[in-house]
Amino acid sequence: MKKVITNLKSLLLAGLIMILFSSTFAQVPQGMNYQAIARNSSGNPLISQTICLRLTIHSGSATGPVQYQETQVSTTNGFGLVNLKVGMGTVTQGVFNTIPWSAGNQYMQAEMDLSGSCTAWVDMGASQLLTVPYAMYAGSGGTGPTGPTGANGATGTAGATGAAGVNGATGAAGAAGTNGATGVAGANGATGAAGANGATGAAGANGATGAAGANGATGANGATGAAGATGATGSGSVTGTLNYVGKFTPDGNSIGNSLIYDDGIHVGIGTINPTDQLHVAGYNSSINIEELGTSDTRLLFSRQGYGRWSLRENYGTPSDNIAFYDWSSIAKVFQINQGGNVGIGTNLNPVNKLDVSGGVAIGSYAGVNTTTTNGMIVSGNVGIGTANPTDQLHVAGYNSSINIEELGTSDTRLLFSRQGYGRWSLRENYGTPSDNIAFYDWSSIAKVF
């Protein structure tokens, strides 16, 4: 046995290579033992830890061409020692038994991966193989001189009989021999398939008629036949009052007058002088539109088959309101609820006696001027607490007051202007110091008092 110590550049791995070979050249093992102590960066042995090693044989130098490369996964023992057989790992390049050991100058590089993934290799250095691996050369070295012939060995036991050889070619036919005696008759063969049927013979004479069988179940009705010709018009007459829609009298045998009067243009209920297409007249007269399901009732106003407006009850939320709908957008524009609250505006559900969504114009402004969004313009005097306002805004009452409150962080003001242009303002909390009251010249935004 010979040993070669590989001196690695890093303290992470120290190795001992041992190659065992026979003193004869009959069989050279295709592998070599490799021992190493794995250490961490502090030089301490890595005890009972699984590591990955990649071993590479270079030719000529430590960075020369790669002759062979393999990887192995092993676990260190209690001293940090790992034992491997180079040449018997997972081959990644080359063939171990084709390494040209006879060329000399072979170097082995060791790399290690402590993560266990066998992908993050750390180079541990390379060392020249000086002695032991060249025992491999015995497997590929030149032939030595022929030795003297040895004495004959003892005769071995007879080997097993070999397999029979192939038959030789057929020889020429010999002369015909005399006929032998007739053999015993063989057994009958199997019965053949039945032949085709012959032609059908002529029909025999009919037998006597048998007794009638019992009647079968009644079949389904056939399809309805074509309608017969219309019979002749019968004679008869009905009497009644002109333009009244007739109805059967209570006995069901004669026709009398109903409440419906039709003059061919107008229809009247309770009147014989209808002035419209439907005219209902009478004391406490009414038209009842009743929904018997869970939907709403409605009176639809349309033109040429297209709905424009509808007066509806129980449509949307809250229920039991009466409302006008813009039929094109199915939107409520005016409604009254059961509490008497009135709402004006798209889909507005009133909570006050009058709720308006949008601008309001009163007096001569109505139908002429457009107010701001949700604003109000009034052309006459407005009274608060009085039924006889004498000014455009007249506030009356005991302890009456006007509260101008700023809900943000700015100031409050009472502006005096002419023709839309501000002239003076009485303001609070404008400028520094705050919480003062002052008159401002609006043209220069300057306090004057």
CA dist list (Å): 440 to 73, 380, 402, 418, 447: 93, 30, 20, 15, 4
| Residue closest to 279 by CA, chosen among 289, 270, 290, 288 | 270
Is the bond leading into 65 cis (omega within 30 degrees of zero)? no
As a whole number, the mean pLDDT across the chain is 77
User: pLDDT band for position 150 (50/70/90)?
Assistant: confident
Tokens of 17: 């290579």
Give me the pLDDT at residue 108, please.
93
CATH number at 2-139: 2.60.40
Give me the pLDDT at residue 10, please.
35
Size of the chain in residues: 449
Chain segment 349-393, per-residue pLDDT in tens: 788 988 888 888 888 888 888 888 888 888 888 888 888 888 878
Long-range contacts of the stretch 25-30 (C-beta < 8 A, 24+): 25/138, 25/139, 25/141, 28/135, 28/136, 28/138, 28/139, 30/87, 30/96, 30/97, 30/136
Give me the pLDDT at residue 18, please.
38
| Residue closest to 37 by CA, chosen among 29, 28, 46 | 46
User: pLDDT band for position 153 (50/70/90)?
Assistant: confident
Tokens of 131: 């002695």
Range with the poorest average pLDDT among 37-46, 106-115, 365-374, 414-423 = 414-423
CB count in 10 Å sphere of residue 199: 4
Chain segment 61-85, per-residue pLDDT in tens: 999 999 999 999 999 999 999 999 9
Domain boundaries, the chain: 2-139, 244-280, 403-449
| Residue closest to 315 by CA, chosen among 294, 292, 284, 342 | 294
